[in-house]
Chains A and B, each alone.
Chain A
């Protein structure tokens, strides 16, 4: 029970962090039709910026400044890069963001080196929030959840209640009409791209010290975020939310479970020896298969329900 509760909490906090990334990605996708390969790179930049800023003026200013900087970088990239390849079509845009992700990783190598940096949880948040049975639950995890939920609610309110949110929503489906009504749609695109990047940057700021800040962090999270967007349904925010929590919980549980097919067979009274056919397959534990599960889920999803959990369109 204790294991179950703690893992669920960890899974939810990880899932909420993933949602911060996937929400930006999915809004950008539904607006511009671009699956932004460099989205996880903004997450990485956010973590590195926060590390650099926090060594100078502390964690709390970094929490605000780093995402804003990342957002500005995102806007510049949209304005001067993405917009000029737009005329060559979606493949060119995908390739542009792919090259960008590669270049950002190399730039990180260039500036901060190839190993991880010491980006730590601030002392004020370092400690236990509450004790569950015998395990102390870290305060920082609670902070992560609170920040994610706060961001979530503010995005929801911005998109549904504010003027700019309504313009964004309208531009998703009817960009020509919105343009005809006198709104600057390219500028809305730029703002959305910047906003999505800033959100990814914020995820980096609060995720970078909970996990590890290293040059490989974008490549580790990036494919998972894609899986979420595909599983949730391309362009669906609600779907991305469900899929984020699903993947977060799935990954947290699967790395901790040490059961294999042999154990299951033993429960049922069948003994599988080490020299049975495909022994390598049967003796795999769930924790060993953990890295494959999200991709397996995505491939199965694309085969059986290509539009995803909540998606409305295919492909």
Chain B
């Protein structure tokens, strides 16, 4: 029987992917400082890592607290491979080094995955946490492989430059990361369209029914984890090239927590969610981290707010507005949004003041009580700045509640109109 299949040329999809590639390639020409190049390199690696994580959380419904195991072990195998390559006992191009990491991730996926994927839900979460802690504890037991406290260092510039590419300058590494990121993004998107990708969704939504149809849910979860750990390993290999050092932090709980937060903040329900999430996450870590020591507090607060009020992440907020845009009703929302933004700014100013002043007070109230915030210089032991900060916080909260109510009402009206139009 002839196969009947018609796939229309999906212009929108080509535009989005082409645009993403173009932006990634052109960004270094717009932002020329070294700082942004490091940031963008990390975002690129983070995108691969978060997308691989979302295969588990978003597509497979498995909440993992130990995903850094696969990327970290991938990074360790890459760094040892790179050191062997430098000695000449192992011949392999540096460009393809992430494949070594990917292979290592895959192997450990086979080792740990078969047991962990027997169950999903809380059991999976617990056992992934246990394996994460176990591997991290092992890193201190085997200093020969993990390098102990100092980690393993390497040099990515080995052999003769090929076509002028030596991976010495950061810009060359950035383009290597861009190439790998685009390839992995495309591959992971393609995976979501395969029968296995679809079955992963089915097993996530209704494992019992999937089993009745004749699929082995354990096998589907296991295969999903294998592919996910392969891509996590690739991210680890790129990390090794980017930093030229691999420490035990790479397999640690904080790294696992980071990828979970990045993915969830972006939105686990959509393919592009983790991409947005990584961008937000690394801007929080690096850009906000350069400004204040309390960046982790703000990150945690953002994560908690997303869990409480927008469990679909930023991606769901964007997707929510598409039908409204289509119905040309956005003009009804601008005013409430502007109000929410203005009152939110007051609330944020109050919060930031209280947090920064608390931090300054607990660290340096004895030695250097003077501090500058938003251009105001004051003494942190005085009462007035505290009164202003707490006033902003409480006042901002009160007026924000009004603004949120207005937004809620306007949104309800708009949704009502959209539904009536489509009906």
**A292: nearest chain-B partner, CB-CB:** B137
Q: Mark B107-145, 1 if CB is under 8 A from A, else 0.
A: 000000001001101110111011101100110111011
Q: Mark A122-134, 1 if CB is under 8 A from B, else 0.
A: 0000000000000
Q: Contact check: which of B115, B125, B297 meets A110 at CB < 8 Å?
A: B297
* B362 close to A99 (CB less than 8 A): no
Q: Mark A264-306, 1 if CB is under 8 A from B, else 0.
A: 0000000000000000100010001101100110110011001
Instruction: Tell me which of B115, B122, B301 has the highest count of chain A C-beta atoms within 10 A of its own C-beta.
Output: B122
**Residues of B contacting A219 with CB < 8 Å?**
253
**Residues of A contacting B140 with CB < 8 Å?**
291
Q: Say yes or no: is B363 at the interface (Cβ < 8 Å to chain A).
A: yes
Instruction: Tell me which of A84, A95, A296 has the highest count of chain B C-beta atoms within 10 A of its own C-beta.
Output: A95
Q: Contact check: which of B134, B260, B299 meets A98 at CB < 8 Å?
A: B260
**B57: nearest chain-A partner, CB-CB:** A91
Q: Say yes or no: is B90 at the interface (Cβ < 8 Å to chain A).
A: no
* B362 close to A111 (CB less than 8 A): yes
Inter-chain CA distance A154–B145, complex, in Å, is: 50
Q: Contact check: which of A91, A103, A110, A296 meets B63 at CB < 8 Å?
A: A91
* B304 close to A100 (CB less than 8 A): yes
**Closest CB-CB distance, A8 to chain B, in whole Å?**
24
Q: Contact check: which of B118, B142, B261, B299 meets A280 at CB < 8 Å?
A: B142
Inter-chain CA distance A100–B308, complex, in Å, is: 11
**Closest CB-CB distance, B43 to chain A, in whole Å?**
21
Instruction: Tell me which of B130, B257, B301, B311 has the highest count of chain A C-beta atoms within 10 A of its own C-beta.
Output: B130
A226/B129 contact (C-beta < 8 A), A103-B301, A295-B137, A306-B123 known: yes
**B126: nearest chain-A partner, CB-CB:** A230
* A99 close to B300 (CB less than 8 A): yes
**Residues of A contacting B311 with CB < 8 Å?**
85, 88, 92
Q: Say yes or no: is B296 at the interface (Cβ < 8 Å to chain A).
A: yes
- Of the four ranges (under 10, 10 to 19, 20 to 34, 35 or more), the interface on chain B belongs to 35 or more
**Closest CB-CB distance, B309 to chain A, in whole Å?**
9
**Closest CB-CB distance, A302 to chain B, in whole Å?**
5
**Residues of B contacting A226 with CB < 8 Å?**
126, 129-130
Inter-chain CA distance A298–B311, complex, in Å, is: 31
Inter-chain CA distance A295–B363, complex, in Å, is: 36
A299/B134 contact (C-beta < 8 A), A92-B311, A94-B125, A96-B308 known: yes
**Residues of A contacting B257 with CB < 8 Å?**
98, 102
* A302 close to B307 (CB less than 8 A): no
Give chain A interface residues in 78-94, CB to chain B under 8 Å. 81, 84-85, 88, 90-92, 94
Q: Say yes or no: is A315 at the interface (Cβ < 8 Å to chain B).
A: yes
**A87: nearest chain-B partner, CB-CB:** B311
**Residues of A contacting B138 with CB < 8 Å?**
292
Inter-chain CA distance A94–B63, complex, in Å, is: 9
A295/B130 contact (C-beta < 8 A), A102-B257, A302-B123 known: yes
* B115 close to A303 (CB less than 8 A): yes
Q: Say yes or no: is A35 at the interface (Cβ < 8 Å to chain B).
A: yes
* B121 close to A292 (CB less than 8 A): no
Q: Say yes or no: is A245 at the interface (Cβ < 8 Å to chain B).
A: no
**Closest CB-CB distance, A279 to chain B, in whole Å?**
9
Interchain residue pairs with CB less than 8 A apart (9): A84-B308, A98-B260, A106-B296, A113-B363, A230-B126, A234-B122, A292-B141, A295-B131, A302-B126
Residues of B within 8 A of A (CB): 61, 63, 65, 115, 118-119, 121-123, 125-127, 129-131, 133-134, 137-138, 140-142, 144-145, 253, 257, 260-261, 264, 294, 296-297, 299-301, 303-304, 307-308, 311, 355, 358-359, 362-363
Closest 9 CB pairs of A and B: A103-B300, A291-B137, A295-B134, A106-B297, A99-B304, A102-B300, A315-B123, A292-B137, A99-B303
Residues of A within 8 A of B (CB): 35, 81, 84-85, 88, 90-92, 94-96, 98-100, 102-103, 106-107, 109-113, 219, 223, 226-227, 230, 234, 280, 284, 288-289, 291-292, 295-296, 298-299, 302-303, 306, 314-315
